[in-house]
Amino acid sequence: MAVERDLLRLTVLPTTAYQDQQLVLLPVRRPRRPAILLGAFVGLRTAEVVGLRVWDVDFMRGVVRPVQQRDGEPLKSETSRTPLPIPQELSVQLSAAVARWGGEYVVTDGTGRQTSTWAIERAIRSARPKVAGLPEAFRFHDLRHYLASLLIGSGLDVKVVQHRLRHGSAKTTLDTYGHL
């Protein structure tokens, strides 16, 4: 069986830590594609992506409700439980992935079983050398920074960015992204 791959195109705004416009192409196996989308457009952390169950997503209303991390571990903080809106297109893509790969989790190993944080990080590491201009140190968590740069670049208020990233305070958001 051939391994199916997609190239995810993420335009990194000039306001990111990389300071120049880049087109990030991430070749990832299709079962892991939802992980990249959840990191880049919802801002979930790796362990939150792995722990996200199908019933934690309201596909009709377009809301992701993180409840646990991998292996049922509690989330980083109570603020991490904040429901997050997702665009309809993302909801459709996540729903299609769930229908295709099956299982209780939104991101699977391709056989319906829960994937691991290690597998997601490995997918990022293996994609790095194949992507011209992608920093050698790029990691999954940088997708969260990508989302922050999109939100800030579109002119959103610091409190909105704080809410979307589920930071405990606006100070955390400003300390991390005040340079953008």
Q: How far is the C-alpha of 58 from the C-alpha of 165, rounded, in Å?
A: 19
pTM, full prediction: 0.82
Residues 12 and 146 sit within 8 Å (Cβ to Cβ): yes
Low-confidence residues of the chain: pLDDT under 50: 1-25
- Sketch the domain layout of the chain as residue ranges: 5-177
Residue matched to tokens 């070749």: 27
Over the stretch 53-80, which tens digit does the pLDDT of each residue have? Answer: 999 999 999 999 999 999 899 998 898 9
pLDDT for the residue 152 = 87
Assign domain 5-177 one CATH number from 1.10.443.10, 1.10.10.10, 3.90.1300.10, 3.40.80.10: 1.10.443.10
pLDDT for the residue 15 = 35
pLDDT for the residue 154 = 86
Q: How far is the C-alpha of 131 from the C-alpha of 25, rounded, in Å?
A: 6
Q: From the centroid of its chain, how far is CA 7?
A: 15
pLDDT for the residue 134 = 77
